[in-house]
Amino acid sequence: MKLGVIVPYRKRPTHLRQFQESIKEYLKDYDYELIVVEQADDLPFNRGKLLNIGFKTAIRKQCDYVVFHDVDMLPKDVDYSYSEVPLHLATDFVNSKREIFKTYFGGVTMFSIESFKRINGYSNEYWGWGFEDDDLLLRCTEQNVFTDFEIYEVPQQDTAGLYLHGDWSHVVCDNIIDIQNDFTIHCTFKPDEIIPDYDKDFDEYCVFSIPGWDTTLSYNSFNRYKFETWDIGEECHQITSDYDYPKLTKITITYKDRILKMYQDGNLVGKKIIKRRLLDTKQEKFLIGIASINREDDRKSFRGFVSDFAYWDKALARNEVQGLHQNSGMSYLIDDNQYNSSQNLKIYYDFKHTTFDKSYDYETGKVMNLVNTKSFGEVSQSIPKSLQDIERKKISIPARRKSTFKLIGHPPEGYKDGGWKYQSTRLNQIRYYKQILDNKSNLTTDGLSTLKFKTMSKTEDDNYTFLSVDLGL
């Protein structure tokens, strides 16, 4: 069986030399063809399209199967023998503690010729770093290539709420929250998307905030929800939790006996011991949808649904939080017969019932605090809307063959200083998650069957092909 090793490449001559030497020695007992595809234009790097081009070359070289191989991964203990089932090989590294999450399908992957044709190859539309491998796994999921799956369940219901469109839309509320004593803060919300296309400079979006030292609940592009607050010694305290894709989510924060806890959809996801008192900035207002109305930038402007918000001047017990997170939701909280902490409920905004007036060019309105109708939230630039979540989503877990590589060091490409390095990665993320939420990829209209490029030069020598291409077509 003849192996085709396909390497996407641009402007890394030192890495390429190291890789050529390493792979030549490692595959000396294999019948193989090394195919390097160089992107010669000035467009953002398109790994998927380069690999599709290399695959076409592998067919011409009569390869039976291929390995798509990053140039910075040198084999140390790898079995490159044929497999009918596609395999993920980049499982371990001798010089890195890189986490391999269940659905990771990048770095080094193996396909038979027929199995890669079956999914129409990679998408050609992921320009810049990231997400072409996630899209590839989605294609495998649709074609039932793998037998193991991650199953995601989403409530099967219509959920009305306040829709904040992200362009500085927000709610300003009277602040009676006391974070220096026991408290519970709760919010039900759903982000529109991981990275909204209206804001391409920042990666964190604020759902709730007490301005000043930023006591905030936010979400970011790296699949994390985060609660953040500060103590009187100006030390920042954070609790984070993971999410799989944007869905209706219930987050509850409790604070008692200097212990801060965070719950997500009924589960305790983190806690911290706070040695000093939390910092109260004595703000008259708190905010839904933005971090501060005084900031010139909108880096933390939320886009999506907010269904409810509540505050108690005590820490709810774990069973109370779990009851709150059940389908009965907030109706459970305002019934004295069911709920023994209802007297401690000081703020309850039901964003499913919002009154609007038309006296401005954009829609404005007021949201009543159902505990004390004298206090209300002022809504700006927002609209009420209905939300229909998808019922269920499954993503394949790729088959793996345990392998070990050595990583060649290089400057960070995609993730840097807590954010995506390039705008193109953010756009790739939007594209991918839209397909996740739509429950389908575009494999029938994008891939090997629609591949277009221009060959600038080609060098062939024994079992080595170097192809330089222009993707600007």
Interatomic CA distance for residues 170 and 96, integer angstroms:
43
pLDDT given at position 156: 36
Conformational region of residue 18, where left means phi above 0, alpha means psi within -120 to 50, and beta covers everything else = alpha
The structural domains of the chain, ordered by start, are 3-151+393-470 (3.90.550.10), 158-388 (2.60.120.200)
Helix runs in 287-422, H state only = 318-324
Measured CA distances, 425 to 60, 196, 439, 473 (Å): 32, 12, 21, 21
pLDDT given at position 457: 96
pLDDT given at position 362: 35
Mind listing the pLDDT tens digit of every residue in the chain (473 residues)? 999 999 999 999 999 999 999 999 999 999 999 999 999 999 999 999 999 999 999 999 999 999 999 999 999 999 999 999 999 999 999 988 777 888 889 999 999 999 999 999 999 999 998 889 999 999 999 898 988 877 544 333 345 567 776 767 788 888 889 999 999 999 999 887 555 444 444 467 889 999 877 799 988 766 789 999 999 999 999 999 987 666 788 999 999 999 999 999 889 999 999 999 999 888 888 989 888 876 555 456 787 888 889 999 999 999 889 888 875 555 555 554 445 566 788 888 877 655 544 333 334 556 667 676 555 666 665 444 433 333 456 788 999 999 999 999 877 776 654 456 666 776 777 677 667 766 677 889 999 999 999 999 999 998 999 999 999 87
Q: Which residues contact 313 (CB under 8 A, 6 or more apart)?
A: 178, 181, 182, 183, 344, 346
pLDDT given at position 90: 94
pLDDT given at position 151: 59
pLDDT given at position 84: 94
Interatomic CA distance for residues 2 and 72, integer angstroms:
23
298 contacts 168 by C-beta, under 8 angstroms:
yes
Other CB atoms within a 10 A radius of the CB of residue 382 amount to 24
CA angle (76 as vertex; 74, 77 as ends), nearest 5 = 135
Owner of token pair 């829609």: 363
pLDDT given at position 43: 92
Q: Which residues contact 16 (CB under 8 A, 6 or more apart)?
A: 7, 9, 36, 71
Interatomic CA distance for residues 56 and 181, integer angstroms:
65
pLDDT given at position 388: 39
pLDDT given at position 262: 97
